[in-house]
Chain A
Amino acid sequence: MPADLTASPGSGRSGGLILLALLVIALFACTAFMTVGVTGGWAFVLQLRAVKLAALLLVGCAIALATVLFQTVSGNRILTPSIMGFDALYILIQTSAVFAIGASGLNLVDKRLLFLGQAALMTAFAALLYRWLFTGAVRSLHLLLLAGVVLGMLFRSVSNILQRMIDPNEFVVLQDRFFASFNTVDTTLLGIAAVIIALAAIAIWRMRATLDVLGLGRDAAIALGVPYKRTTMTVLLLVAALTSTSTALVGPVAFFGLLVANMAYALIPSHRHALTLPAAALIAVICLVGGQTVLERVFAFNTALAIIVEFLGGIVFLFMLVRGAVR
């Protein structure tokens, strides 16, 4: 462990131990995912599952990192990118693209190129929108939260209209091809998603000490010499890129980030992003891979994971709201 800023004796070590334990559990979950209930051709099954596992790993990391970053910048533990409508915005952009270009046109465009275009558009939009929300007249956290929730509903309803404006029959075809969900993970985008997430992760890792300072709030961060505007903008851009990537792979997951980030804060006895970020990512992987293994292989539910996450996350959110986590 490098001698990072603000290491208190003990907390670093026990944090490290917890990370190690999480890593072991995550590896165990991955092994179980790959091997439980394999019958017949091992080579074929393993290959199939490896692709799915890779997708789950990427999604887990992307959502966990995006949520922790977003919460650090917004200075609270109840807002998440998806509660604020980030992933609904991505779906809206995706639907608009399908609507504008049409299915036949889309078949000519390379899917990865399309994804990059959408992600870039989304990043720009999200940055503008949330810069306005964060720096504009919106001062109260409650207002920000409620405005975000309602914006998300607006984005979803507009997407819904556009989806119906596309020929209903054509839309069913498009839905399979262009709109991912937990059990139809979009595998063509795996490579490019891996690159984006890796780049983002490297950038975030290099910012980790600055992120710790941002966690003290705006005034303290400026007083300690952090170029505040530039740093928050960078972080919001990273959040938008990560959210686009995870939404492109598995579709929207509203409460997953909230669940994972708060579990990480509860487990790690430190505020340091060098510990909380990897912990959140590992917990996300454990929940996704472990949950999928248990549901798919033990209970034979296929699409239930997203619904269960929604249910649990919603309860956590209500609990936090009732306990007064929002001030």
Chain B
Amino acid sequence: MTRTAAAVAVFLLLAVASLFAGVSDLTPGAVLAGDPAAINLLLTSRAPRTIAVVLAGGSVAIAGLIMQMLARNRFAEPSTSGTVDAASLGMLCATLLLPDMPVIVKMMVAAAFALAGAGLFMGVLARIPLSSPLVTPLVGLMLGNVIGAATSFIAYRYDLLQSLAAWSNGDFSTILRGRYELLWVAFALAALAWFTADRLTVAGLGRDFSVNLGLNYRRVLLFGLSIVAMVTAMVVTTVGMIPFLGLAAPNLASMALGDNMRRAIPLTALLGAGLALACDLLGRLVNYPFEIPIGTMMGVIGSVLFLYLLLGKRFRAG
């Protein structure tokens, strides 16, 4: 329990730090003193950014956890299963074909693509002999690469490489009030997973196992993948890809708590949000006053953690 308390404390500290870090000066003192400029800055820029980071981090982490349960593989997550790349392809298609539609429509298109991508991934997995748990992320990463190459080709053809860059690398620097609220929905969806955790756990044990227990395997699978797809699409449309976050948080959580999903969900969300805050903050401080996007920071931290999981003694699974 003390470990959880420590995690919460670190998380709160990071959140406060995130509120008060930035180019223009904002001090807690000024806010408490009721300085209108300071409060305005806090409400329109800093608070939205911090909330967005927390929501995105938490929901991506839960999406990763769900993906890991369903694919029965601790290395699966939206960015290692073709889901993120499919969402990005969907965004591109929506931008090309429905340029005048509101963001929410484009997001739905992206979500549909993401679901198709995740479904394709699960379909490929079902068809190949899984001689090793490491094949799963390999297939996912390469599927992502192929979808990514197709996306870049289309973007290149229609001169949209610039816009593609906007959602392929996660970045919170443009978050303002009114630009991030979709993430609340993402977080709500992820929270929904908490209520169905038991079913997802059973579905994760495989089709035969689920049918034996009288569970409608296909329906649960579709439900789980839909949540992953919606969360992914919302995060990709509002802030862009955050690689490996959905891999890192659940694995750290399971190191602390073991594999029971219902217990793991809150801690996973907390760790995801904390990691996202830390990366975002680090990205703002390392090259002050310029920012390094969270997608890039997470690429470094996430791949180091991934390597640790692969080569470290604890998980010598291969």
Chain A positions near chain B (C-beta within 8 angstroms): 137-138, 140, 142-143, 145-147, 149-151, 153-154, 156-158, 160-161, 164-165, 168, 254, 301, 303-304, 307-308, 310-311, 314-315, 317-318, 321-322, 324, 326-327
Contacts and interface: CB of A to CB of B under 8 A. Distances in A.
A22 B154 CA distance: 32
Contacts, number: 111
Contacts of B137: 146
Interface in B119-164: 124, 127-129, 131-132, 134-135, 137-139, 141-143, 145-146, 149-150, 152-153, 156-157
Given A164-B287, A165-B286, A307-B156, A149 B134 contact: no
B220 to A, nearest CB: 26
Given A143-B134, A158-B300, A304-B156, A150 B307 contact: yes
Contact of A321 (B128, B156, B310): B128
A161 B292 contact: yes
A91 to B, nearest CB: 14
Interface of B: 75, 124, 127-129, 131-132, 134-135, 137-139, 141-143, 145-146, 149-150, 152-153, 156-157, 243, 286-287, 290, 292, 296-297, 299-300, 303-304, 306-307, 310-311, 316, 318
Contact of A160 (B129, B299, B304, B316): B299
Contacts of B318: 140, 142-143, 146
Contact of B311 (A147, A303, A304, A324): A147
A147 B307 contact: yes
B300 A150 contact: no
A150 B135 contact: no
Given A146-B138, A161-B292, A324-B129, A153 B145 contact: no
Given A142-B135, A164-B296, A322-B127, A314 B142 contact: yes
A310 B149 contact: yes
Nearest to B313: A137
Tell which of B128, B297, B310, B316 has the most Cβ of chain A within 10 Å: B310
B307 A304 contact: no
Contact of B299 (A137, A147, A156, A321): A156
